[in-house]
């Protein structure tokens, strides 16, 4: 081994050892790019699984689902979830343009979540004052978390699906400190309810 080869090996060894010693300091100074930042929204059936959602529902009977939010945004976030109901002709959020449904919310949940945290809670609901007349079903009141709301939803008979269908859906909103208001986050989950005549 020549003197120049030995000198090159010595310099490379010192450089490598220096990087190892300085790596904790470099980790603070040099920020590596983070993974994708996102938030989750989900609903689960009454057993905490993605199955057995209430479907054939009767007025005055209580039902449950679980609502969940996951924060993977890299910081503390303030979330709001709007609860809305619609019949077959009313609009859902526009996924192409990322805009929420124009329907008024009947209820809301608000929660602060730190990064990589999840929030989940049971959502009990029922329909009150359900009446049927010909090809129409009218739902006057909707109960969620023990709160009664006047909704006055008129649902038409669906000949194709053989039922009166109402959709319960949840929209995710995140607080934007720049504008000091909540903004729709383009996340929405839902399930259909078939309103049946009590026997």
54 and 16 within one domain:
no
pLDDT at 14 over 90: no
Contact assessment for residue 180 and residue 168, using Cβ atoms and an 8 Å cutoff: no
Structure tokens at 76: 């503390």
Question: At residue 137, does pLDDT exceed 60?
Answer: yes
CB burial class (10 A; 0-12, 13-18, 19+) of residue 183?
middle
Backbone φ and ψ for 37, nearest 5 degrees, come out as -100, 130
Same-domain status, 20 and 80: no
Tens-digit pLDDT profile for residues 67-100: 999 999 999 999 999 999 999 899 989 988 989 9
Residues in the chain: 199
Q: How do residues 142-181 score in pLDDT, each as one tens digit?
A: 999 999 999 999 999 998 888 999 999 999 999 999 999 9
DSSP letters spanning the chain: --HHHHHHHHHHHHHHHHHHHHHHHHHHHSPPPP---EEEEEEE-TTSSSS----EE-TT--EEEEEEEEEESSS-EEEEEEEEEE-TTSPPPBTTTTB--SSPPSEEEEEEE-TT-EEEEEEEEEEEEEEEETTEEEEEEEEETTEEEEEEEEEEEETTTTEEEEEEEEEEEEEETTTTEEEEEEEEEEEEEEE----
- Verify that 19 and 54 share a domain, yes or no: no
Are residues 123 and 184 both part of a single domain? yes
**Beta strand 56-57 with 107-113: parallel, antiparallel or unpaired?**
unpaired
Q: Are 138 and 154 in contact (CB under 8 A)?
A: yes
Cβ atoms 153, 138 nearer than 8 A: yes
Domain that holds residue 18: 1-32
Same domain, 149 and 85: yes
Same domain (yes/no): 25, 99: no
143 and 160: one domain? yes
Higher pLDDT, 36 or 68: 68
- Same domain, yes or no, for 50 and 134? yes
Residue 26 sits in the same domain as residue 75 = no
Q: What is the pTM of this model?
A: 0.80
Mean pLDDT, range 107-125, rounded to an integer: 97
Number of domains the chain contains: 2
The residue ranking higher by pLDDT, 44 or 1, is 44
Q: What does each C-alpha distance from 90 to 8, 127, 144 come to in angstroms?
A: 74, 19, 20
The pLDDT of 53-60, averaged and rounded, is: 92
Query: Residues 23, 108: one domain?
Result: no
**The pLDDT of residue 12 is above 80:** no
Q: Is the pLDDT of residue 36 over 90?
A: no
Same domain, 102 and 130: yes
Query: Can you give the pLDDT at residue 39?
Result: 95
Q: Do residue 15 and residue 52 come from a single domain?
A: no
| CATH code for position 166 | 2.60.40.10
């Amino acid at each position: 081994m020549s003197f120049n080869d030995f000198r090159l090996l010595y310099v490379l060894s010192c450089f490598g050892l220096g990087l190892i010693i300085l790596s904790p300091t470099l980790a603070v100074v040099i920020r590596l790019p983070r993974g994708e930042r996102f938030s989750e929204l989900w609903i689960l059936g009454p057993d905490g699984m993605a199955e057995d959602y209430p479907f054939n529902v009767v007025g005055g009977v209580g039902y449950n689902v679980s609502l969940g939010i996951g924060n993977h945004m890299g910081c503390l976030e303030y979330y709001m979830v709007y609860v809305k109901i619609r019949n077959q002709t009313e609009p859902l959020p526009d996924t192409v343009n990322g805009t929420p449904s124009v329907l008024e919310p009947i209820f809301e949940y608000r929660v602060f979540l730190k990064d990589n945290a999840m929030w989940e809670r049971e959502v009990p609901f029922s329909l009150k004052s359900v009446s049927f007349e010909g090809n129409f079903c009218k739902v006057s009141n909707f109960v969620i978390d023990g709160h009664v709301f006047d909704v006055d939803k008129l649902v038409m008979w669906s000949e194709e699906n053989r039922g009166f269908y109402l959709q319960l859906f949840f929209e995710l909103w995140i607080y934007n400190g720049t504008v000091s208001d909540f903004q729709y986050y383009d996340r929405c989950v839902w399930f259909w309810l078939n309103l049946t005549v009590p026997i």
